[in-house]
Amino acid sequence: MENKQKEIDIKLVALDMDGTLLNSSDEISEGNRRAIKEAQEKGIYVVLSTGRSILTSRQHAESLQLSSFLVTVNGSEIWDQNGELVERNSVKSDLVQWMWELSQKHGTKFWATGVDKVWNDSMPEDIMAGEWLKFGFNIEDVHVRELILKELQDKELFEISNSSPINIEVNALGVNKARGLQTVCEKLGIGLEHVMAVGDSLNDMAMIKEAGLGVAMGNAQEAVKAEADFVTKTNDEDGVAFAIEKWVLK
């Protein structure tokens, strides 16, 4: 959907990681690295805005020599350029307990992001004692996925998205990547109209819709492509570099 032809003064590039910055081998290509380096040399802020926790995203930011903020766990946490926590938005422990019980009831795979550990298909003995940032369901069965999605929606207490067509990601209500980027932009003195946001899944939708330029990956879910201003190449074709070269480096 290449429908934005007007000049946009991009000052910040927000990048999702999985399915976007990272290729199918979970690596950052040389093409993407080069484009990000050139953007930074031009004075553009490059911010990773990811569903991942700081535990599995910080090393990628360091490898790119990013000198800006990190938006992690879909906006649940924001970290500054010194690696200090700026903001944290938790999911109430009793709601995480309920979601875990829901996953057990339907026999689904799940994961839960705590402030100091990501739990995969297992949980600590005392869920209520933990501080939680996100809960996720991996559900192959479409019928079961729809049942769980409806139960979550009926609560009206969650921000619900996904990072792949077969999962459901649950954050605290009102917590998403767009809100995280809004906080970052306020601290940098930049309006969201000067942001290019790039992603592939429903957890990228809010930032793609609210950014001055929303870019969907060639491998993005169709709903994301429909909301984007521009569709770039896939994550295995240096789609991030293609978008940066077109809209930022020109």
Please list the residues that pair with 46 across neighbouring strands: 13
3-class state of residue 52 by DSSP:
coil
Question: Is 94 considered catalytic here?
Answer: no
Catalytic residue among 16, 18, 200, 229: 16
Measured distance CA(227)–CA(198) in Å, rounded: 12
Measured distance CA(208)–CA(200) in Å, rounded: 10
User: Which residues lie below 8 Å from residue 153, measured CB to CB, with a gap of 6+?
Assistant: 160
Measured distance CA(222)–CA(241) in Å, rounded: 21
Task: Identify each DSSP E strand in the chain by its residue range.
Answer: 12-15, 45-49, 70-72, 77-79, 85-88, 109-114, 118-120, 132-138, 158-161, 167-172, 195-199, 213-216, 230-231
- Active-site residues: which are they? 16
